[in-house]
Amino acid sequence: MTKHSAIGDMEIALLKKFTVLYVEDDGDIRDQLAHFLKRRVGTLHVATNGQEGLEAFQAHRPDIVVTDILMPVMDGLKMAEQIKELSPATPIIVTTAFNETKFFLHAIDIGIDKYVIKPVNTDLLAEVLAQCAHSLLSESERRLSAAVFDNSSDAIVVTDQKNCIISVNPAFSEITGYTREEVIGKNPKIFSAGRQSPEFYTQMWHDLSQNSKWSGEIWNRRKGGELYPEWLSINTVRDNQGEITHFVGIFSDITERKQAEERVRHLAHYDALTDLPNRTLFHDRLQQALIQAQRNHEQVAVMFIDLDRFKVINDTLGHGIGDLLLQSVAQRLAHCVRQGDTVCRQGGDEFVILLPKIYRAEDAALVAQKILQSIGKPFSLDGHELHISSSIGISFFPSDGVTVDVLMKNADVAMYRAKELGRNNYQFYLADMNARSFERLALETSLRRALEHHELELYFQPLMEANGQTMIGLEALVRWNHPDLGLVHPSQFIALAEETGLIVPIGEWVLRTACRQGKLWLDEGYRPLRMSVNLSPRQFHQSDFLGIVRAILDETGFDPHWLEMEVTESMLMQNTEDNIVLLKELKALGISIAVDDFGTGYSSLSYLKRLPIDTLKIDRSFVGDLNNNRDDAAIVDAIISLAQSLSLKVIAEGVEKQEQQDFLREHHCNEMQGFLFSHPLPAAQFIELLKLEK
């Protein structure tokens, strides 16, 4: 027998991973070989005959079996047959003598091809064991590879060197819709979506030939015809001579990833509420439009749009209704422009429109008029009929600016000019508007400091009985003593305070100061008079307004029965049901309610009957030409009659002439207010009028 060398360290390390069953009936041989095997294998189980060996195999499921052939009770071959039935892949090594030829041939018949001739050469036995271990390892790797192939969530397709498909895994069928039988022998180009150019595939095959691999994004077609994106990796398989034998493609459906990327991209460039382009995308499109316009010597128009009275609706009805209104406005704006124009939500209730390729200013004006008409139509939202308008500023490239920032700023300036001129109109940018804009900004900055620097002051104007002789109340009116500008008229800053939200702290200051002054005069012994205080829409619709009123009354000690709050007619007609609840709570405190500027807004008589109010104030616009304008006279007469039918008092404001007083008294107006009796006076001067009432 040829002498065999002992196995190396790597083989010994490999054998340590496996369990061996050794079956031998000869005690001396069994002890000798068992001692040898224990030092070389992971775990060793020993049996003395075939029956014991079969039982040991069933109990321990060893990886390799070494067995003698001729043994009592059950010989080694019968045991091997039953083991092969239980586990066909288990290697079995037989130890045999030359005189056991017929048994050896039978062993070959049942699939046993490993043997060692007795007397056993331990080095040879170790080599045979190592061969079995390598075989088991290869089989394990093959099973693992097959499991990975079959269970991979990525599709795997294997082609031969001619690029014909020879194998696919289940994930391939799940992604593409094709069964294995439908694609075997076919070229993968049957999946092509037609989106890649011939040059794309030329480059792909060049990369494969140079680098033996390629990966990238590609579009393919499912069996049903649906196109989908996939991420594909292709690797080449070469033989020992370096020749390509196979191609292995692994791909995954990246539809969801692409959709997620698109959602992220969309969110980065579009407004989440209205789905209009956002400021970032608008600026990019405007920049591109300016480049194109400069090249082609064209005009570009930028329109800045702000919704009038949106804040009142948003504060009154809540952000839910406000959001619905913004969405509806966005839809109407989109229908007012051309397909190539861009409508953007700038933020809040501001929108911007880009009009490229404008040939005349009149073209932009036509769009602005269309927008004013569209926005001016009623909105029916969640059971509410809402009325708003818009103010629009327009700037042009290149006459009003050649950069994005300048055009946007100038359109914004023009929009504020539209607001100053009464809202619900459009204005083209003019150079002198910037001066007004800076003035407005300076005024806003100063107004923000006015409260802190104690620049606000209350003036008081008397409310007189119809005879003009008896004072029955007074109205508190805010004035602003600007350190540089002097006395600023309310018409110059009240609207600004409304827009900026400063009216809320200013209104609270007015109410607290009026109550404190009223209490002071009462404590000084002057006759009690009704103190009338104006409320702004934003102040009235504060969520904690009632609590603020209670706190001020407690703080000042002013009797609420001598306090009257004035609210405007249009303010009451928004969210009427909630207004009724709030007015009733104010009335429960003892406060009386007057409707200011009556006749200038719109009222529902059915709601007017339900409103817990005490007084109607006829707006001064109807009183000024009362004796010369028949329409004004008729309106005043109608308002007085309406008030009497509803058991309400009526006050006429703006009375400046004796003829006006005479007319009002003849028509049974209860109270009057105006310059005919007194201008508004600061507290120090108004006290002189109070002294006359003592």
pLDDT tens digits for 175-225? 999 998 999 999 998 888 888 888 888 888 888 888 888 999 999 999 988
Lowest mean pLDDT among 147-161, 332-346, 386-400, 461-475: 147-161
Burial 473-499 (b: 16+ CB within 10 A, else e): bbbbbbbbebeeeeebeeeebbebbbb
Summarize the confidence of residues 558-580 as an average pLDDT: 82
Q: What percent of the chain has pLDDT over 70?
A: 91
For the ranges 248-252, 325-329, 429-433, the one whose mean pLDDT is highest: 325-329
Query: Under CATH, which number does the domain 270-431 receive?
Result: 3.30.70.270
For the ranges 67-76, 510-519, 592-601, the one whose mean pLDDT is highest: 510-519
Q: Which of 196, 191, 682 is nearest to 460 (CA)?
A: 682
Summarize the confidence of residues 302-321 as an average pLDDT: 87
pLDDT at position 277 is 93
Quick one: pLDDT band at residue 404, thresholds 50, 70, 90? very high
Helices 490-500, 433-450: axis angle to 10 degrees equals: 80
Summarize the confidence of residues 433-462 as an average pLDDT: 76
List the structure tokens of 692. 């006359």
pLDDT at position 4 is 41
- Tell me: pLDDT of 509 over 80: yes
Rg of the Cα atoms in the chain? 48
Summarize the confidence of residues 661-688 as an average pLDDT: 91
- Tell me: pLDDT of 564 over 90: yes
Lowest mean pLDDT among 6-15, 54-63, 519-528: 6-15
Compute the distance between CA of residue 261 and CA of residue 76 in angstroms, rounded to an integer.
67
**Fold match between domain 9-147 and domain 446-693:** no
CATH class of 9-147: alpha beta
Query: Under CATH, which number does the domain 446-693 receive?
Result: 3.20.20.450
CATH class of 152-258: alpha beta
Quick one: pLDDT band at residue 477, thresholds 50, 70, 90? very high
Compute the distance between CA of residue 437 and CA of residue 442 in angstroms, rounded to an integer.
9
Domain residue spans of the chain: 9-147, 152-258, 270-431, 446-693
pLDDT at position 694 is 62
List the structure tokens of 77. 């071959």
Q: Mean pLDDT of all residues in the chain? A: 86
- Tell me: pLDDT of 344 over 90: yes
Summarize the confidence of residues 583-601 as an average pLDDT: 84
CA 306 vs CA 175, 369, 392, 507, 538: distances in Å? 51, 14, 7, 25, 18
Query: Which of the pair, 318 or 425, is modelled with greater confidence?
Result: 425
Compute the distance between CA of residue 506 and CA of residue 503 in angstroms, rounded to an integer.
5
Alpha-helical runs (H) found in 87-195: 101-109, 122-151, 170-176, 180-183
118-156 pLDDT, tens digit per residue, is 788 888 888 888 888 887 776 656 666 666 677 788 888
Compute the distance between CA of residue 322 and CA of residue 305 in angstroms, rounded to an integer.
17
Beta bridge partners of 478: 458
Q: What is the DSSP string of 490-522?
A: HHHHHHHHHHHTTHHHHHHHHHHHHHHHHHHHH
Lowest mean pLDDT among 45-59, 131-145, 673-687: 131-145
- Tell me: pLDDT of 367 over 90: yes
- Tell me: pLDDT of 600 over 70: no
Residue with the two structure tokens 């092509």 = 192
Summarize the confidence of residues 495-505 as an average pLDDT: 81
Summarize the confidence of residues 17-30 as an average pLDDT: 90
Q: Which of 148, 228, 221, 146 is nearest to 178 (CA)?
A: 221
Rounded to a whole number, what is the distance in angstroms from the first to the last CA of the chain? 144
CA 415 to chain centre: 29
165-181 pLDDT, tens digit per residue, is 988 889 899 999 999 89
List the structure tokens of 445. 């900055």
pLDDT at position 599 is 65
User: Is this model's pTM higher than 0.85 or not?
Assistant: no
